[in-house]
Amino acid sequence: MDKLPLGLALDLRKVVPYETGSWRTLMPVNIMQTPPCNQGCPAGNDIRGFLRVLAEKKDYEEAWHVLSRTNPLPATCGRVCPHPCEDGCNRRDFDSPLAINSAERAIGDYGLEENLEHKKLIASRKEKVAVIGSGPAGLSCAFHLAKRGFQVKIFEAYGEPGGMMRYGIPSYRLPNYVLRQELENIWKLGIDLECNIKVGVNIPMDQLIQSYDAIFVGIGAQTGLTIDIPGQDAGNVFSGVEFLREVNSGKYVDVGKDVVVIGGGNTAMDCARVAKRLGANVSVVYRRTRVEMPAITAEIDEAMEERVMFRYHTNPVKILQDDDKVVGILCVQMELKEPDASGRARPVPIPGSESVIPADTVILATGQAVDYDGIEVNKRDNKWIAANENLMTNVDGVFAGGDAVLGLETVSAAIGQGTRAASAIEDYVDGGVESRLSSPPVIYSKDLNTYYYNKKRRFQKEALPIHMRLKHFKELYPALDPEAIIDEAERCFSCGLCYNCGNCYMYCPDNAVKISPKTGLYEFDLDFCKGCGLCAKECPCHYIQMTLEK
Amino acid sequence: MKEQSKYLEGVDKKDLFSSGHRACGGCGQALAARLVADAAGENTIACVATGCLEVFSSPYPDPSWRIPFLHSLFENAAAVASGVDAAYKALKKGPVNIIAQGGDGSTADIGFQSISGMFERGHNVLYVCYDNEAYMNTGVQRSSFTPYGARTTTTPTGNTTRKKNMPMLAADHGISYVATATVDDFRDLQMKIRKALTIEGPKYIHILAPCPLGWGHHGELTVEICRLAKDTGLFPIYEIVDGKVTNVRKIPVKVPVEEYLKPQGRFKHLFKKGVPSKVVDEIQEIANQNIERFNL
């Protein structure tokens, strides 16, 4: 034994430190939680994931791969999504929510510019799946199945793929080239596409059921519903979907000088703004008020900016015509009474309040329905397709999703349904039982320690000035500045996921938070942690939580 | 090891005060001692007065200190540090950072004469006071740093005197650097330690270090309480360089003192039946005076 210095009875270098971890009653753990944005995204995008990549690595390419893991159409969604994710953003209670939608668009645009390609998860398998309809639901289903190696074939009834994104969304919101480029990127996964084939008409449904292992029905709601008013079969009376399809197909539609749009949904707003761009004076006629309008608020605002007239409390009674040509529309004023089954106030006509609005074209954007021609499945409320929680219809092996199941919903909701259907189809084909982990609990602002965040202004995308908007169908929002988007991503709270602020590491009075040599992340040295909870309390994003000792 | 997080730039973590000490969970003093040791670096001698810090960090054979450590009596940490400084000068060795450390009792009451002497003789020593506002080691007895209204075992109905203003007393010795800090802002604390160690002569840094046991709050609140102490104006953060008060930390949003008092058991008697007593108003008056005096 080495000789010890005078006065020492023990070699201090061989002494094991006193392990204070035995004092502990509560134990800190790192728990990744669900942020409200991810929770709110109908397409199931990992929003926090791509924002963190942008903020920490400033790497658009990786961010694109994170986003396109769930979403085949980021540039499209970045333009048309009404972003329910931003409604939940915990920054709402702090200053203002993140501009997630703009970030999504910037990432999507980067992917298109750089021609980034989707990655396949499994090279190939022999099972075949038919997808009916190439709208967002069908595309998303086909995309996820093709990534998992399935042989996918899409049947599209119209001349070009894209469904409502192609024929229903005007090109000032979603330019055609963006959609086309995104679609081409999806075809690279080896998906077959056959256009101008209407399943049930050109090809019987039974034939598909026999020759494919599974079928996904994503036919959307392509038929415009009209309301029952006299004169609706006059010339120059369109349904909303029909009008948008005509314009988006590149046909010239002569709308004349005055256009009246009936309805208050998103289709009505699109029709009104398209007609405005065709040079007409446009009035939107709606039975209730702005509050009850089902359209996205931003769309209504933009339509108002573009001088679309809104006539509330007004209901059409009769379309007036002169020699098969529309000349005006007879309307009656309404007053609102107690709410009906949908929760919206019930409009009742006021007697003797009739008036005439002059019109050269009338667009009835009063609802849409599924075109069931040749497709036989059970229905819900006699309108939409009935599907169980795995999105399977009453026919074995036939799945359905998107607007046809949900009723009128958003692109991202349809994408989400396609994703779910793809998983369900995989389980169905494999004969497996779905055993997916439920997502961890959602984090709300009360869980966060916002002391460590700084207030910062929200990114604001700039629309074209109004005098420039109405002359053409060019995109309303010009390209976004990638640097500004990275600044915006840095505002992300990173709710429920460590962002390396180092508070736990610096604040632990016992030095019990170490940097893991393997992963480089902070981890707890439970031999010494006394369980005081300081790290959990000072963790800005609630990633650290105290739990009972195991 | 991975690169340092960008949020920890300008912060030292060298583990010179390591795990395994016997402090209570959430101890503000243990946290402060580590931040001080890490900021000072390896070339440092710690002279620590008797008190909690010495008791929990230095039992043989596994002390937490990874730098030379001298334990002194309650009253003479500053005198011992003066001796170390004199010895280094006599042996023509150095330079070395000499940090005398003590709790509020050994700083303001028992050890005041040795500190005063050290300041007056002009030794090159940094004196760090860990202020937990009572004699916590011996069982929460009142010290002259105990704030007005606080309950200790020797003032069961609340302290009737005001807290001694030690930073000003130190500054009035004519020393060139005095600063106050709290454990919640580790950047600021470490910056002040490093800054002090570059200055020749005696220096004094006063660190508010909450004691969960003596103050009667949960260990997880240590940092939060410090933050409230700053934001109410009860513990102003400033530096005194050559007699002039500078770098005063402005309060972003002023907080009423009740928010600071309520989580703490030692002020619980001020809120009997949920009604704040008039002592709370007097404490608010102290905070207001601080805000006015330092223009917080």
Q: What are phi and psi of B68, to 5 degrees?
A: -55, 140
- Mark yes or no for CB contact B11/A451 under 8 Å: no
- Mark yes or no for CB contact B221/A501 under 8 Å: no
- Closest Cα to residue B227, out of B253, B204, B248, B193? B253
- Mark yes or no for CB contact B13/A533 under 8 Å: no
Q: Is B176 helix (H, G, I), strand (E, B) or coil?
A: coil
Q: What is the 3-state secondary structure (H, E, C) of B100-126?
A: EEEEHHHHHHCCHHHHHHHHHHCCCCE
Distance CA A153, CA A194 (A): 8
Given a cut of 60, whether residue B270 has pLDDT beyond it is yes
pLDDT digits (tens, 9 = 90+) for A248-266: 998 888 888 999 999 999 9
Reported as type and span, the H/E element at residue B240 is strand B239-241
pLDDT digits (tens, 9 = 90+) for B138-177: 989 999 999 999 999 999 999 999 999 999 999 999 999 9
Residue B35 has which token pair?
Answer: 């931040």
- Mark yes or no for CB contact B23/A537 under 8 Å: no
pLDDT value for B121: 94
Residues in chain B closer than 8 A to A530 (CB atoms): 24-26, 219
Per DSSP, helices labelled H in A477-538 are 482-489, 503-507, 534-538
Distance CA A365, CA A394 (A): 31
- Mark yes or no for CB contact B5/A532 under 8 Å: no
Distance CA A46, CA B133 (A): 49
Give yes or no for B157 touching A (CB within 8 A): no
Give yes or no for B23 touching A (CB within 8 A): yes
- Closest Cα to residue A276, out of A361, A374, A164? A361
- Please tell me the CATH code under which domain A17-32+498-548 is placed: 3.30.70.20
Superfamily of A229-367 according to CATH: FAD/NAD(P)-binding domain (3.50.50.60)
State how far Cα B4 lies from the chain centre.
27
pLDDT value for B117: 95
Residues in chain B closer than 8 A to A532 (CB atoms): 24-27, 212, 219-220, 222
Reported as type and span, the H/E element at residue B275 is none
- Closest Cα to residue A101, out of A296, A293, A307, A308? A296
Query: Has the ipTM of the complex gone over 0.90?
Result: yes
pLDDT value for A330: 92
DSSP state of A513: E
A86, A393, A475, B284 from A108: Cα distances, Å: 18, 33, 15, 55
pTM of the model: 0.88
Q: What are phi and psi of A269, to 5 degrees?
A: -65, -45
- Mark yes or no for CB contact B220/A536 under 8 Å: yes
Rounded average pLDDT over B250-277? 90
The neighbouring-strand residues paired with A285 are: A262, A311
CB under 8 A, 24+ apart: contacts of A384-393: A385/A217, A390/A420, A390/A424, A390/A427, A390/A428, A390/A434, A391/A417, A391/A420, A391/A421, A391/A424, A392/A424, A392/A428, A393/A217
In chain A, the residue whose alpha carbon lies closest to the alpha carbon of B28 is A509
Residue A327 has which token pair?
Answer: 């000349």
The number of helix segments (H) and strand segments (E) in chain B equals 11, 8
A52, A97, A495, B22 from A47: Cα distances, Å: 9, 13, 11, 44
- Mark yes or no for CB contact B227/A532 under 8 Å: no
State how far Cα B26 lies from the chain centre.
15
Dihedral (C-alpha) B40, B41, B44, B47: value to the nearest 10 degrees?
Answer: 60
Q: Which residue of A13, A448, A525, A534 to mutate against B (max B Cβ within 10 Å)?
A: A534
| CATH 3.30.70.20 placement within chain A | 17-32+498-548
Per-residue pLDDT of chain A (550 residues; tens, 9 = 90+): 567 777 777 776 677 788 888 889 999 999 989 999 999 999 999 999 999 999 998 999 999 999 999 999 999 999 999 999 999 899 998 999 999 999 999 999 999 999 999 988 888 889 999 999 999 999 999 999 999 999 999 999 999 999 999 999 999 999 999 999 999 999 999 999 999 999 888 899 889 999 999 999 999 888 888 788 888 888 888 899 999 999 999 888 888 899 999 999 999 999 999 999 998 999 999 988 888 888 888 889 999 999 999 999 999 999 998 888 889 999 999 888 888 777 777 888 888 888 999 999 999 998 888 888 878 888 888 889 998 888 999 989 999 999 999 888 899 999 999 999 999 999 899 887 666 667 888 999 998 999 999 999 999 888 888 888 888 888 889 888 999 999 999 999 999 999 988 899 999 999 999 998 888 889 999 999 999 999 999 999 999 999 997 7
CATH topology of domain A128-222+370-430: FAD/NAD(P)-binding domain (3.50.50)
Which one-letter amino acid corresponds to residue B190? Q
Distance CA A69, CA A45 (A): 8
Residues in chain B closer than 8 A to A510 (CB atoms): 19-21, 23, 25, 30
- Mark yes or no for CB contact A502/B11 under 8 Å: yes
Residues in chain B closer than 8 A to A534 (CB atoms): 26, 219-220, 222-223
**E-state strands within A437-479:** none
Give yes or no for B52 touching A (CB within 8 A): no
Residue pair A107/A50 in contact by the 8 Å Cβ criterion: yes
CB-based burial of residue A255 (10 Å sphere; 0-12 exposed, 13-18 middle, 19+ buried)? buried
In chain B, the residue whose alpha carbon lies closest to the alpha carbon of A13 is B62
Which one-letter amino acid corresponds to residue A468? M
Chain A: closest CA distance from residue B266 (Å): 19
Confidence of residue B2 (pLDDT cuts 50, 70, 90): very low
DSSP state of A401: -
Give yes or no for A523 touching B (CB within 8 A): no
Residues in chain B closer than 8 A to A527 (CB atoms): 19
| Coarse DSSP helix, strand, coil percentages of chain A, rounded to the nearest 5 percent | 35, 20, 50
β-strands A281-285, A309-311 pairing = parallel
Which one-letter amino acid corresponds to residue B263? P
| CATH 3.50.50.60 placement within chain A | 128-222+370-430, 229-367
Q: Is B97 helix (H, G, I), strand (E, B) or coil?
A: strand
- Closest Cα to residue B51, out of B31, B27, B75, B28? B75
- Average pLDDT in chain B: 91
Residues in chain A closer than 8 A to B34 (CB atoms): 509, 511
Rounded average pLDDT over B29-34? 94
Preceding omega of B212 cis (within 30 degrees of 0): no
State how far Cα B60 lies from the chain centre.
25
- Closest Cα to residue A283, out of A306, A251, A254? A306
β-strands A384-385, A379-380 pairing = antiparallel
Preceding omega of B61 cis (within 30 degrees of 0): yes
State how far Cα A286 lies from the chain centre.
27
- Mark yes or no for CB contact B19/A451 under 8 Å: no
| A36-116+448-489 classified as CATH 1.10.1060.10 | yes
pLDDT digits (tens, 9 = 90+) for B71-116: 999 999 999 999 999 999 999 988 999 999 999 889 999 999 999 9
CATH class as words, domain B6-294: alpha beta
Distance CA A417, CA A401 (A): 5
Distance CA A217, CA A400 (A): 4
- Closest Cα to residue A535, out of B222, B35, B33? B222
- Mark yes or no for CB contact B223/A15 under 8 Å: no
